[in-house]
Structure 1
């Protein structure tokens, strides 16, 4: 299941180089993904399985507000070299197209799937955009509660951690749309998986 992510730093000439820290964060959280700095303030990542990790990586990077993120879904030529700069295949071309298009979009995200899965790719992208919109509205307090909930803590444990009542935790999670976010992420992953299966001939469109 190849998913290629091409990521380019926003306003890189006015900001310090954030690529090394981003690659370290990617390697720590997604150790099974191959990640390589490519050219300038840009890096690529290849996920060969687990579309949920692709969703989580997109959301992690987009939260920083520092990146144009392009996702390419399609076949790749095998064997894939350790250095992604030498890798080839339609998915890499799609990711290049996607990141260039992301630079023209207000949310800095674009997904491109190779035929015959273009429509399915749009479906996945729309849900990802909705998730980003939900998260953009979160307050710092909402993020603090949501991150602990994502880690599996109960509302009582979150309250203890944050020094607030369980009722206040519930209010923060509701305001952060945490439950909807948590339900939507697996749906986005399933849409990515279906898109990938169509592009690589695993299932019919």
Structure 2
């Protein structure tokens, strides 16, 4: 069972509206449940799969103004009983795996720290190129969509750290699968 918690750490004037709109947009991602609004800056949702969880966390990290908490627990009630992220700074992820054991939580947080670093260094062109690739287009299709050559697309993806992002995403998914198996084997 995966629970995602996020706290808006940005400086938007209309925080409550921004948080509500963000929750609505994130809930449209495949495998993501309805987000619960918890006060002005906090949201929480149950997420079905590790892949959907990684996609949602990356969307929040790309924005750069959210502190993210991930809870892996045997049941929904246990996943929702973990307090919201309090001290985590924007652009970082704090993981909790219940029952406690092993280094799963630290490893998951570390994988997302590496991904966040890659995402933070990205230019507008790099975000544009990787977004198209993440949506399922191949390099030729993405290049055509942007009106650039395949070589220019390849250069944008390389500069944007596309290979590091996909490797980090796969690592995070694998760690979440292992943590979920640990949580379920403990009951």
**1:92 aligned residue:** 80
8 Å Cα contact 2:35/2:45 also seen in 1: yes
Q: CA deviation at 1:112?
A: 1.6
- Mark the runs of 5 or more structure 2 residues left unpaired by the alignment: none
CA distance, structure 2, for counterparts of residue 202 and residue 93 of structure 1: 18
- Residue 143 in 1 paired to residue 142 in 2? no
**2:19 aligned residue:** 19
Q: CA deviation at 1:138?
A: 1.0
8 Å Cα contact 1:12/1:41 also seen in 2: no
CA distance, structure 2, for counterparts of residue 33 and residue 9 of structure 1: 19
Q: TM-score, normalised by structure 2?
A: 0.87
Q: 1:64 to 1:160 in 2, by over 3 A?
A: same
SS of corresponding position for 1:193: helix
Q: For 1:78-121, what per-residue CA distance to the aligned partner results, in whole angstroms no more than 9, with x for missing partners?
A: xxxxxxxxxx32x2233x25x1131xx36332112223435112
SS of corresponding position for 2:180: helix
From 67, 87, 110, the equivalent of 1:101 is 87
Q: 1:5 to 1:153 in 2, by over 3 A?
A: closer
CA distance, structure 1, for counterparts of residue 19 and residue 101 of structure 2: 31
Higher Rg of the two aligned structures: 1
- Residue 179 in 1 paired to residue 166 in 2? no
**What root-mean-square deviation, in Å, do the aligned CA atoms of Structure 1 and Structure 2 show?**
2.3
CA distance, structure 1, for counterparts of residue 116 and residue 129 of structure 2: 17
- Residue 190 in 1 paired to residue 174 in 2? yes
Q: For 1:30-85, what per-residue CA distance to the aligned partner results, in whole angstroms no more than 9, with x for missing partners?
A: 355242112232111112x31111111101112112322111222335xxxxxxxx
- Residue 52 in 1 paired to residue 38 in 2? no
| Deviation larger for 167-176 or 8-17 | 8-17
Q: 1:25 to 1:118 in 2, by over 3 A?
A: farther
- Mark the runs of 5 or more structure 1 residues left unpaired by the alignment: 78-87
Q: TM-score, normalised by structure 1?
A: 0.80
**1:82 aligned residue:** none
* Number of aligned positions between the proteins: 186
CA distance, structure 1, for counterparts of residue 21 and residue 104 of structure 2: 32
From 132, 152, 160, the equivalent of 2:144 is 160
**1:40 aligned residue:** 40
